[in-house]
Structure 1
Amino acid sequence: MSDKVTVLVAGSWGTALACVLADNGFRVSLWTRSDEQANEINEHHTNRKYLPEAVLPANITATPSLAEAMQDTQAVLIVAPSKAMREVCRQLKPFYHEDMLCVHATKGFETESLKRMSTVISEELGAKESNIVVLSGPSHAEEVVKRMPTTVVVASRNERAAAAAQTLFMNEEYFRVYTNLDMIGVELAGALKNIIALGAGMSDGLGYGDNAKAALLTRGIAEMVRVGSEMGANPLTFAGLAGIGDLMVTGTSRHSRNWRAGYMLGQGKSLDEVMDSMNMVVEGIRTTQAAHDMSRKYDVQMPIAEQLYRVLFEKSDPREAVEALMGRDPKNEMESMKLEIWQQWHS
């Protein structure tokens, strides 16, 4: 079997995961559309645009040729932005075959169709969705490339595929990997927590303190569980690494691009100003739009996501959004989640 793994594309998270694979002894081919970026990675072993302080292992090579990147590879890791996923997979299809392990690490939805990334990948590659693996969990790229201890989860409906991905990424020194069969829950948790992280950043930007942020994070989990259960996810997944774990790290850290975007919104910047100041994709913005449509499609209340939608796309004032959340009708905490979900969570 080949010792080569291909990573698409060379953003911060794709590059960080390429480093994990390289540390595990694989030859890693990193695909980028940019000749300049490929030359930098190959000649200087850096990717300064996305990870300015990182030095990349010598067994990572970059190429703008997808045919070259995919030649003689045993597995492909796709870390394209959600809005580019379908197009990237269309380009990948001529080089993909069913015996190849396919993992993705993108946390978002296709906004127009509300489809999860595994569904988009399956449709474009002609692959069985059950054979695709998603990697998710609390993991800042900036810490992974410094070999700081990190724990993630890989999920697939195919237990053998999940186990193969676990073997691929597991590093006993700093990168621990668990498996999970609830692919839907892991994908939903990874995407939806970005919305709550935006809200947490916005709360910090408004100067509201820890009480408000703790409430946002906790009630955000309730929203994630409600919509997840309607879409077939296991509620317990949201209590694990892909749910609470990822929400904690994304909603409380300045490494988080979603938190930073929310923080700037809270300080009074417009969405256009926020986007102009970021050099990376902020998935939570697109995901907020998708969640707005999901809440209607599945008839699920998502008040935090709804207020963030109004701030982002209807130019509502962030303080008015907080006032709207605080002024909602009185609720019973347990009754605000479906009884059967609560019983399963605490069984």
Structure 2
Amino acid sequence: MVQSIGRVAVMGSGSWGTAFAKVMADAGRDVVLWSRRAAVAEEITRQHRNGGYLPDVILPDNLTATSDAAAALTGADAVVLAVPSQTLRENLAAWRSLLPTGATLVSTAKGVELGSLNRMSEVIADALAVPADQVAVLSGPNLAKEVGAEQPTATVIACSDVDRAEALQHACSTNYFRPYTNTDVIGCELGGACKNVIALACGMADGLGFGDNTTATLITRGLAETARLGATLGADPLTFAGLAGLGDLVATCSSPLSRNRTFGARMGRGDSLTDAQAATNGQVAEGVKSCASIRELAARNGVEMPITDSVYRVCHQGLSPRVMAAQLLGRARKAEWS
């Protein structure tokens, strides 16, 4: 039996780390948010704000922050990992000796690791030498700014240990944040990783001046190629019709709050990758890196993912977004479900 979750460490004070820390504090947990920067930690603790990421959100009193990883992790029943996917392994190496034995480890990063092609739960289990059923995955239509503003949303907590998933579900349930449980970790992770790549494509289409028909087409066909990859790797196809699949995909592909969609739109309007990065304060959308690892994972498993392949060629091989659109439309015709 997994113990109830009373104290939570959230490792990462970006937009989503801060928003989810607020959710867990609002659900009655004792939350410590770790920030790499001491000034950010001090602002959160003293002023109950994170002005650099969620300036309009007032954080609850039972949420404090620190730049000392050991202080954040001591006594935690659950550890929420809210750092970018491609830096997760590096951070875990630094935290490994500090992690409480048996704590529930919660992945919020959405990507596939470059090189190893591991999903984030696999990175955690490997880097920390813990069993897979100690790792849970959080995924769904959870745009940080809206969650911080307490706008109603739902999410999925995926874990092969049902008791652990249900304990975490109880620990983050509020009147605006509704978590569901799922045992399909593979499907939830692939849905979260692939949606960032499809959102880049939707942004590029918007930047080119295309409208809702194009966006709907990319969302639908993007979901189809994500589900093909998932089925090949052992995911439950129903997962892709749920919150961690279609729900997250629609939010990320449609909202101006989505970093990936916004980044893609800049490239669609003619910005280079470097220009788009400069315009977003040096932040690279997760899909820019993940498109390479997802493309390689698909190729290794013989899965056709034309949108992902096209996004990769725009981001890393200099293909024009307009040429990308023409090439996607010019592909050989086939039955929809073939």
TM range (shorter): over 0.9
Matched-pair contact (CA < 8 Å) for 2:76–2:100: no
Letter in 2 for 1:269: D
- Structure 1 equivalent of residue 42 of structure 2: 39
Matched-pair contact (CA < 8 Å) for 2:267–2:273: yes
Letter in 2 for 1:115: N
d(CA) in 2 for partners of 1:5, 1:301: 40
- Structure 1 equivalent of residue 201 of structure 2: 199
Letter in 2 for 1:191: A
Q: Specify which of 21, 24, 44 is matched with residue 27 of structure 2.
A: 24
Over residues 261-290 of structure 1, what are the superposed CA-to-partner deviations in whole Å (9 max), with x where a residue is unaligned?
011010000001111122444111111111
Shift of 1:295: 2.1
Shift of 1:92: 1.8
- Structure 2 equivalent of residue 277 of structure 1: 279
What RMSD over aligned residues (CA atoms) do the two structures have, in Å? 1.2
Shift of 1:112: 1.4
d(CA) in 2 for partners of 1:79, 1:211: 34
Do the aligned partners of residues 97 and 43 (structure 1) sit closer, same or farther apart at CA in structure 2, a change above 3 Å counting? closer
d(CA) in 2 for partners of 1:190, 1:11: 18
- Structure 2 equivalent of residue 71 of structure 1: 74
Unmatched segments (≥5 aa) in structure 1: 336-347
- Structure 2 equivalent of residue 220 of structure 1: 222
Q: Specify which of 101, 109, 112 is matched with residue 109 of structure 1.
A: 112
Shift of 1:237: 0.6
- Structure 2 equivalent of residue 340 of structure 1: none
TM-score normalised by L of structure 2: 0.96
d(CA) in 2 for partners of 1:291, 1:99: 31
Unmatched segments (≥5 aa) in structure 2: none
Is 1:182 aligned to 2:173, yes or no?
no
d(CA) in 2 for partners of 1:113, 1:275: 25
- Structure 2 equivalent of residue 327 of structure 1: 330
Is 1:256 aligned to 2:253, yes or no?
no
Shift of 1:99: 2.3
- Structure 2 equivalent of residue 231 of structure 1: 233
Shift of 1:2: 7.2
Letter in 2 for 1:104: S
Letter in 2 for 1:132: V
Shift of 1:119: 0.7
Detail structure 1 runs of 4+ shifted over 3 Å in the superposition.
none
Equivalence map 1:83-122=2 (5 Å): 83-122=86-125
Over residues 281-304 of structure 1, what are the superposed CA-to-partner deviations in whole Å (9 max), with x where a residue is unaligned?
411111111122122101111111
Matched-pair contact (CA < 8 Å) for 1:98–1:127: no
- Structure 1 equivalent of residue 320 of structure 2: 317
Matched-pair contact (CA < 8 Å) for 2:73–2:100: no
Over residues 15-70 of structure 1, what are the superposed CA-to-partner deviations in whole Å (9 max), with x where a residue is unaligned?
00000011111111111111111111122111111112111112111111111111
Give secondary structure in 2 for the equivalent of 1:166. helix
d(CA) in 2 for partners of 1:263, 1:195: 13
